Amino acid sequence: MTAQAETVKPGRSFHGLSGVLRKDWAVFIPRDRFLVALIYLLAHPMVFPVEEAFFWLGIGLAGALVAYVPTMEWHQETDRMLNSLPVRRATVVFSRYLSSVIACIVAGVAWVSTGHLLAPLLDTLLEGGRATPGMWTTFGGVLTFFLMACLLVSLFLPLYFRLGMGRGTLAFVGLSFGLLVLASLPSGLSLPAAALGTFVETLSTEVGPGWALFVILGGMGAALTFSGRLSVRWFERRDL
Amino acid sequence: MGSMETVLDVRDVTKVYEGFTLRDVSFSLPPGYIMGLIGHNGAGKTTLLSLILGLVRLDAGEIRVFGLDHRREEVAVRSRIGFVHEVPTFFSSLSVARAGAVVAPFYPTWDEAGFRELAREFGLDPGKKLGSLSQGMRTRFALAVALSHRAELLLLDEPSSGLDPAFRRDLLERLSGVIEGGKTSVLFSTHITSDLDRIADFVTFLRRGRLMFSTTREDVLERWFLVKGGSELLSGDVRPLFAGVVSGEYGFTGLTENLPELRARVAEEAMVVERATLEDVVFYTGRTGEEGMTLHDRSS
């Protein structure tokens, strides 16, 4: 054992943030990365003809990536170990949001890419081809995807930090199902429309794509900030 | 309190759960000593260690570690603590070496060469997945991590329970070695009281969420006695002098810390007196209800 002991200075800091992120990446088993990608790709022929199903496949991928590490931690009961390390709970929460945002971007890129790559091939299955451009090709469609992914993260993580993975997931499923049903009533149970209506399209038309992007990114930032603060508040009160 | 004369200062700590309360626990641990935390299952040992680590929130009281508030300065405090949980868990898909690399960035004082050396000494194959290790081997891994960042306080929750006798003895010798420099202290919970006989300087005894005593091991051994005699001796004014009694067909054996008073009431030849061991203290105090308990907190 060498060198003079150096300690973390007292006070509030994000000490350990990079450590938590590196840990998140390390526990994402390479085999599982491959499996997630494979399942996502294999599901395409089944869902592709229905554009909304393809949309939800992309959101499902985002959900799987967001929930992977919390699920592993829950399954292997590593919560106590992680929170015994010199890292604030607020830092654990912040890193989880950061890795979730990265997961959503990865899922979004995958969704847009596979849409572009597979559409010409799979559209041949449709009689007469696709009538309108796919969501993945339009500004409004891509923005809708990220808005939905942001809502998913903003809803799921506070419940996870408050209740743990098991009960948190149940609460999230119940809550999001309820919200979807409520929102879908006026629009005839059309799922993306149920979630967001024609909000993005209307906003783009009304204020222009630039302002729409600004407003939506601002809204997403506000939702994530509020959700993050709630998560910190709840997680700091939770006994592990 | 809260000065650096004590590494750990626990004051009037209370935690309330449904069906269990850890109430008004106070003790302190000076630097360079080993304290054993003993008690029956469910006495509150793990809860107390979880409170110190900040895993569980206090309902009342105060915990200062290295003179710092354990909540407000949680990162500074935990960077100087090494821990082993009762059931050591880690990501089972990671190898021993990879898991060490994952933990290392959290500790500014991490000693990679020291970790590799400890892993080798503990018989841990660096390439082996943690999920394939037995509980005893996972405890060894957790110990290697705890000892690899020059922790000044080691919190060990039943570290020896999953270990084979040879490694258990080795662990105890290692803990004795760790405190030799006078900078590191150890608080470890156990119900294997023979471990404490070997290395503990202080003993803290919890019973049903209450602190029975926190004092030096010598004090415990000097204070407590086992008394054997005929059942007729357990008359009204003698019985309360025992903290615990086991009665049988041919008489009784009882634990007392009131030997002078007992000798004043009972003829010397009517009883046999022996020094009690830590195990006797734990065993006999668990044999009774609240009646007859005359234990005191001597930690303050």
pLDDT at A119: 72
Contact flag B106-A78 (C-beta cutoff 8 Å): no
Our CA-based measurement puts residue A63 at a distance from the nearest CA of chain B, in whole angstroms, of 21
The pLDDT of residue B195 is 84
Distance CA A74, CA A79 (A): 7
Q: Which phi and psi (to 5°) does residue B228 adopt?
A: -115, 140
Find chain B residues with C-beta within 8 A of A10's C-beta.
Answer: 68, 72-73, 75-76
A82 and B CB contact within 8 Å? no
**What pLDDT sits at residue A186?**
67
Helix, strand, coil share of chain B (percent; to 5)? 35, 30, 35
pTM above 0.95, yes or no: no
Q: pLDDT tens digits for A190-216? A: 555 545 656 777 787 888 878 888 888
Q: What is the dihedral of CA B228, B233, B235, B240, to 10 degrees?
A: -30
Residue A92's pLDDT is 94
User: Residue B290: what pLDDT?
Assistant: 44
Q: Which residue has the higher pLDDT, B290 or B47?
A: B47
pLDDT surpasses 50 at A3: no
Coil, strand or helix: which one is B272? strand
Helix axes B96-103, B135-146, angle to 10 degrees: 40
Is there a contact between B109 and A6 if contact means CB atoms under 8 Å apart? yes
Number of helices (H) and strands (E) in chain A: give both, helices first. Answer: 9, 0
DSSP codes of every residue in A87-146: --HHHHHHHHHHHHHHHHHHHHHHHHHHHHHHHHHHGGGSTT--SS--GGGSHHHHHHHH
Q: Is B192 within 8 Å of chain A by CB?
A: no
Check CB contact of B180 with chain A, cutoff 8 Å.
no
Closest residue in chain B to residue A69, using alpha carbons only: B91
Structure tokens at B196: 């404490």
pLDDT surpasses 90 at B2: no
Q: What is the mean pLDDT of the segment spanning A1-6?
A: 40
Which one-letter amino acid corresponds to residue B110?
Answer: W
Question: Is residue A25 less than 8 Å (CB to CB) from chain B?
Answer: no
Interface check for A15 against chain B (CB to CB < 8 A): the answer is yes
What Å distances lie between residue A118 and A124, A129, B29, B63, CA to CA? 10, 13, 66, 60
B292 has a pLDDT exceeding 60: no
Q: What is the pLDDT of residue A209?
A: 79
| Residue A18 at interface with chain B, using a CB cutoff of 8 Å | yes
Whole-number average pLDDT of chain A: 83
To the nearest whole Å, the CA of B295 is away from the closest chain A CA by 31
Nearest CB partner across the interface for A19, out of B72, B105, B150:
B105
Q: Residue B122 corresponds to which tokens in the numbers above? A: 């503990």
Facing B78 at nearest CB: one of A13, A77, A86: A86
- A76 and B106 within 8 Å at the Cβ level: the answer is no
Print burial letters for B252-278: b (CB count within 10 Å at least 16), e (below 16): bbbbbbbeeebeeebeeeebeeeebbb
What residues form DSSP beta bridges with B216?
B202
Cβ distance of A78 and B74 shorter than 8 Å: no
Candidate from A3, A11, A84 with C-beta closest to B53: A84
Q: Pairing relation of β-strands B185-189 and B153-157?
A: parallel
Residue-wise pLDDT for B153-209, tens only, equals 999 998 877 778 888 888 888 888 888 877 889 999 988 888 888 889 999 999 889
Sheet holding B153-157, edge to edge: B68-69, B60-65, B8-17, B20-29, B210-216, B202-207, B34-38, B185-189, B153-157, B81-84
Q: Which residues, other chains included, contact A237 with Cβ-Cβ below 8 Å and sequence gap of 6+?
A: B57
Q: Render the burial of B132-148: b for 16+ CB within 10 Å, e for the rest.
A: ebeeebbbbbbbbbbbb
Would an 8 Å CB–CB cutoff place B109 in contact with chain A? yes
Check whether B298 has a pLDDT greater than 80: no
Lowest-confidence segment of A6-20, B13-27, B84-98, B223-237 by average pLDDT: A6-20
How many Cβ atoms sit within 10 Å of the Cβ of residue A127? 6
Q: How many residues does chain B have?
A: 300
Are the beta carbons of A81 and B89 separated by less than 8 Å? yes
Residue A22 in tokens? 């590196």
Instruction: Pick from A106-110, B139-143, B295-299 the range whose average pLDDT is largest.
Output: A106-110
Judged on CB neighbours under 10 Å (0-12, 13-18, 19+), A155 is middle
Contact B102 A23 (CB under 8 A): yes
Question: What residues pair up with B16 in beta bridges, in sequence order?
Answer: B21
Helix (H), strand (E) counts: chain B: 10, 14
Give pLDDT tens digits for A36-55.
888 888 888 777 667 778 88
| Pairwise CA distance, residues A143 & A150, whole Å | 10
